[in-house]
Amino acid sequence: MRESVDTNVLLRAAIDLGDTQTILARELLASPDKLLVVNPLVIAEFIHVVIGHYGLDRSQASTLVRWILALESVEIDREVIESSLQVFEAHPKLSFEDALLAEQADADDALPLWTFDAKLSHQHPAARLVGA
């Protein structure tokens, strides 16, 4: 049976606050009889929180996401998330959300990704400026 988890569960599992929620989150993710769907938006929010609230850098945030990707209980498009992480790490001014958007467009064979975001269009080959 497929179930899903939100950002807070992944945060509690990844960031040990020494509380009951951390234990429960880790037990849930380690459950061999679970198939937990993780929406890519959850990963985007996860990265936003670990960088903005917990002060991790891009590399540390990516390492935590790769830990999530390695969990057998997690169902997610691993290829898109991994390629998004690579773009995110290679382009320090590009948000993970923009990297994910461009990589998902590429995976969906829905190119180009039209945008008014000049920064995105200069940092990802899938993105094109509208009117350019």
In whole angstroms, what is the distance from residue 33 CA to residue 73 CA? Answer: 8
Tokens of 7: 């950002």
For the stretch 94-129, pLDDT in tens is: 999 999 999 999 999 999 999 999 999 999 999 999
In whole angstroms, what is the distance from residue 111 CA to residue 40 CA? Answer: 19
Cα 84 to the center of its chain, rounded Å: 8
8 Å CB contact between 64 and 14: yes
What is the four-CA torsion angle of 131, 115, 77, 90, rounded to 10 degrees? 100
pLDDT for the residue 44: 98
For the stretch 40-52, pLDDT in tens is: 999 999 999 999 9
